[in-house]
Chains A and B, each alone.
Chain A
Amino acid sequence: MKSRHKKLLVIVLALAGIGIAATLILNAFQSNLVFFFSPTQVANGEAPGDRAFRIGGLVERGSIKRDPDGLTVRFVVTDTAKSMNVVYKGILPDLFKEGKGVVAEGKLGSDGVFTSTQVLAKHDENYMPPEAAHALEQAQKAQKSLVK
């Protein structure tokens, strides 16, 4: 093989390799993205039924209830306009409190209950998770536009 051909071959192989890598990366990216929905969006039926997503908002006061097994927790997440029921089994993060911001990841059941696999830990008392803040903001905007 002439060196020019060899060079061409190397370039073709390299491009093929990069193409395959890029395809794999983008494919994994597409199938692993987790979208965020506010309780209002979920109430409007915008959230997918078959795919995991994130919700955010405030934990409604007085809504935290434990099943007799002690580890299954039920609570309500609200963006002040709409609320949704969430169930989670396991240990909650330190800063999970009624009236505070929360973000949960999981799937929406056919009964409308959000089964959460992960409740996100936030590291600072005064800090509102950006997703939760976003949900509240959206709800306020929506309410204002209704009043008008």
Chain B
Amino acid sequence: MIPELGHFALIVALLLALTQAILPLIGAQRGNLTLMSVARPAAQGQFVFVAIAFGCLAWSFLHNDFSVENVARNSFSQLPEIYRFTATWGSHEGSMLLWALILGFWTTSVSVFSRHLPDDMVARVIGIMGLISTGFLAFLLTTSNPFLRLLPAAADGRDMNPLLQDPGMVIHPPMLYMGYVGFSVAFAFAIAALLSGRLDAAWARWSRPWTTVAWAFLTLGIALGSWWAYNELGWGGWWFWDPTENASFMPWIAGTALIHSLAVTEKRGAFKAWTVLLALTAFSLSLLGTFLVRSGVLSSVHAFATDPARGAFILGFLVVVIGGSLALFAWRAPKMLTGGRFTWFSREALLLANNVVLLAALGSVLLGTLYPLLLDALGMGKISVGPPYFNAVFVPLMAPALFLMGVGPLARWKEASLPDMVSRLKWALAISVATGLLLPLTLKGFNPWAALGFTLSMWILLTVLIGFRERLKNSGRIGNLPRAFWGMQLAHLGLAWGVAGITLVANYQEERDVRMNVGDHTQLAGYTFTFQGTTERVGPNYRAAKGTVEVSRDGKKLFVLHPEKRVYNASGMPMTEAAIHPNFFRDVYVALGEPLDDQAKTWAVRLFHKPFINWLWIGALFMVAGGFLAASDRRYRIAVKATAPAGAAVQGA
């Protein structure tokens, strides 16, 4: 009964989404207030019904209703309750339902926090989001219904993929989707602006907080995914340039460029067409990411199903959204190209340069991700593009981006003076270069990549500090600094911190695969590892060989690690569960390979010493915090009434 209720709720939601899309868009075009006023209630109603559907599916999972095919495929009676709940979005169908739910959430948020916006703008934004909702709900109902029954019911489920049974996976997909789907708001604002012809500073100001919040969620989602891969895959890596990772990274790069371009459009009225194009790009890449990961074209943990109907639907949807929005852009954008003037050395120009570098990086990732798929689809052979390509291209492109990141926030709008900038920044530059040259010598000898990484992190840190000092000179108290400024500084600092962590772990990590008998010792990075054998352990839905490895330093016992090798009951799938001893300066990481004799006394063991790896995630958290802080700046809430006429003036100019 409950699954049928969910199915029914989904159908009602689709009808409401259609209403939400069609009536307000017609109303906005004709200036009909009654039709426009349908937008808010329809959006909120749609959200409620999608939430009911989601609740019904979650209920089926929690109550082990194995007569529902989706539950039987992806859950198991012995699965701990928390994972039975997260299994709701562990499958293709469930994750698409989560997509629709989060889209409903964003639309409802727009409907609530848009009281001060013009009616036709709100109607258009919600209408466009309604069109996207319609697409996703139709996709769910026609190709990916999560409520299909299984007759006769299965006796028990086939279990969730053991890799997904991890705390990181509990929150990674919702956060990632909050980011992906959040860019739909920026997209809807951009389309609404193109439709209405009002592409002005006010439009940019309305989109900014939404875009920043979506970006912060996406940052968090990607960081969680990386943390999960590091903890769960047992390979000690935190980024593999896997197509599924690239799928989430591409919208992130576009979103980062968009945030910075929006700043220029809002403050200076410049780059309008560019900003709109970035908003369209960011969301299109989110859809592309969904397509890549969900359609089964990739060979990875996320590609659940290989169903051509689904792939065709998403591909068609993608073509309509990207093609339609670009056509609208080509038709409308040339009419609104007036913008603020600036010289080649100004904050605008620096931000533009940074945007160009970011897009070049985006292009290189796109090429490396799509080219193998394209060749394969055309039957021109199979190739793979691995980490060497991405590292060779991405790192050199990021170096100028990070350098510009230090200069941009300190340069004046419109026209900056080069001699003035040089005199303000010469010490910072000298100290950064000195750090880059000397710091590697104190570690393990000179290494150009380490030198580059340290120089750039130091450079960002120092320029952030200079930014604070100069702002304080002008505004006096630290409490007077606006939250947007704090947010920017925090996010930049977070990136510097992350870059320092990446530099350290990439250049100074140590790794060993060894064969260890009970009582054997091995040395790594000054630590002594003693293998004390394995014991049997029975988990809720698996059996494990639990290893004991004692770690000591200079004869002093420090801690004991328990890496496990698990075999899951339902699927019979083996899994390596690494044991990690983290702290602020390093992780000690131990994973069990396989037993090398019949009595399981000798094992292949993998040992890692990962210096400063946690700085990566600390840095990411700073970026997330910076994003939320910047989006909460008070001027987004109070200054809108004052700027609406100003925006109109810009348009008239």
Contacts and interface: CB of A to CB of B under 8 A. Distances in A.
B385 interface: yes
A28 B604 contact: no
B386 A70 contact: no
Interface in A5-34: 6, 10, 14, 17-18, 21, 24-25, 28-29, 32-34
B356 A94 contact: no
B161 A21 contact: no
Given A24-B396, A91-B604, A95-B574, A34 B386 contact: yes
Interface string B326-366: 00000000000000000010000000000010001001100
A18 B593 CA distance: 46
B299 A69 contact: no
B452 interface: no
Contacts of A92: 593-594
A32 B300 contact: no
Contacts of B416: none
Contacts of B364: 25
B593 A10 contact: no
A70 B392 contact: no
Given A10-B344, A25-B363, A71-B604, A35 B381 contact: yes
Interface in B356-415: 356, 360, 363-364, 367-368, 371, 376, 381-386, 388-389, 392-393, 396-397
A136 B11 CA distance: 43
Contact of B513 (A24, A28, A91): A91
Interface string B84-128: 000000000000000000000000000000000000000000000
A117 B602 CA distance: 23
Contact of B596 (A33, A70, A124): A70
B238 interface: no
B572 interface: yes
A89 B384 CA distance: 22
A12 B234 CA distance: 49
A125 interface: yes
A19 to B, nearest CB: 11
B163 A123 contact: yes
Interface in A44-98: 54, 66, 69-71, 89-92, 94-95
Interface string B562-595: 0000000001111110000000000000010110
A112 to B, nearest CB: 22
Contacts of B594: 91-92
A36 B381 contact: yes
A125 B573 contact: yes
Nearest to B304: A124
Interface in B589-619: 591, 593-594, 596, 602, 604, 606
Nearest to A126: B571
A104 B367 CA distance: 23
Contacts of A95: 573-574
B33 interface: no
A69 B383 contact: no
A28 B389 CA distance: 6
A64 B397 CA distance: 44
Contacts of A36: 381-384
Given A70-B515, A121-B233, A121-B235, 4 more contacts: A29-B367, A34-B386, A36-B381, A131-B382
12 contacts: A6-B344, A10-B344, A25-B360, A29-B367, A32-B392, A34-B386, A35-B383, A36-B382, A91-B593, A94-B576, A121-B235, A125-B572
